[in-house]
């Protein structure tokens, strides 16, 4: 008995590659497709029948497998089984691959190199902001370096990272460049020099050295420890 496949919706961009994969299965029969948009004309030749309404298609065809490739709202409404609306964006679309791979290869949790029974020889913190996400990695297991930029900042117009004291900047529409930053001014060339300058002038430490920033960072770490 062939496996009768129906496709509900064609607005998801991956549908066309998925169709090729399904069509290559000798036991699968492409029986019906449904979509209310002009995309239906691009797919109807691959199927025995075409519909503009997926509900009517399901009632008429009773397929064995339904490939739901509509937009989120329509896909959530296709009550074939217990389905949820996909509102997680990149979290569901891409993070799922990393989550599956890490669960398969590494399990749930573990100590990577140390022999005491708590998992704190490596840590990853994720901080969510209104318009940004920070991923903070900490390790007691690293040997040397992989040569990658550290830290890395992903912006809307460029990606920037530090490599051996130089800035690697990849701007939109351009090739990556290595740029040498200007030297630090006198009084801020190292930690003691900056600290003594603040004592002499009465200036408050700024930037990553400010007490306010240090307090926020401490709170972040404490929240993760709880």
Whether 221 maps to a domain, the answer reads: yes
- C-alpha 172/C-alpha 48 separation (Å) is 45
Tell me the two tokens of residue 31. Answer: 């029986």
Q: Is residue 113 part of a domain?
A: no
Residue 1 to residues 19, 30, 58, 172, Cα–Cα distance (Å): 20, 13, 19, 53
Asked whether residue 164 is domain-assigned, the answer is no
Residue 20 lies in a domain: yes
Whether 22 contacts 30, CB under 8 Å = yes
Does 7 fall in a domain? Answer: yes
* Residue that finishes a domain, picked among 35, 55, 87: 87
The reply to whether 192 falls in a domain is yes
Q: What's the pTM value of the predicted model, to 2 decimals?
A: 0.53
Is 155 inside any structural domain? no
| pLDDT tens by residue, 89-146 | 665 566 666 766 666 666 555 667 777 666 677 788 888 888 888 888 888 788 888 8
| 69, 87, 105 - which closes a domain | 87
Q: What is the pLDDT of residues 29-88, one digit of tens each?
A: 999 999 999 999 999 999 999 999 999 999 999 999 999 988 765 655 555 444 454 455
Number of domains in the chain: 2
Domain boundaries, position 197: 186-226
Task: Indicate which CATH number applies to the domain containing 41.
Answer: 3.40.50.720
Domain boundary among 37, 61, 87: 87
Residue 106 falls within a domain, yes or no? Answer: no
């Amino acid at each position: 008995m062939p496996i009768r496949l129906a496709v509900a919706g064609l607005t998801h961009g991956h549908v066309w590659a998925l169709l090729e994969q399904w069509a290559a299965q000798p036991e699968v029969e492409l029986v019906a497709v449904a979509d209310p948009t002009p995309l239906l004309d691009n797919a109807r030749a691959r199927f025995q029948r075409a519909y503009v309404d997926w509900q009517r298609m399901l009632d008429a065809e009773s397929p064995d497998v339904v490939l739901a490739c509509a937009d989120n709202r329509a896909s959530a409404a296709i009550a074939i089984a217990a389905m949820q609306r996909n509102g997680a964006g990149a979290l569901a679309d891409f993070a799922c691959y990393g989550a599956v791979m890490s669960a398969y290869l590494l399990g749930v949790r573990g100590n990577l190199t140390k022999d005491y029974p708590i998992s704190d020889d490596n840590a990853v913190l994720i901080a969510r902001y209104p318009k940004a996400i920070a991923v903070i990695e900490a390790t007691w297991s690293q040997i040397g370096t992989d040569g990658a930029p550290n830290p890395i900042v992903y912006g809307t117009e460029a990606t920037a990272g530090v490599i051996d004291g130089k800035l690697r900047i990849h701007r939109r529409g351009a090739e990556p460049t290595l740029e040498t930053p200007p030297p630090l001014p006198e009084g801020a060339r190292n930690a003691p020099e900056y600290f003594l300058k603040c004592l002499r002038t009465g200036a408050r430490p700024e930037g990553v050295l400010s007490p306010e920033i240090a307090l926020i960072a401490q709170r972040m770490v404490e929240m993760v420890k709880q």
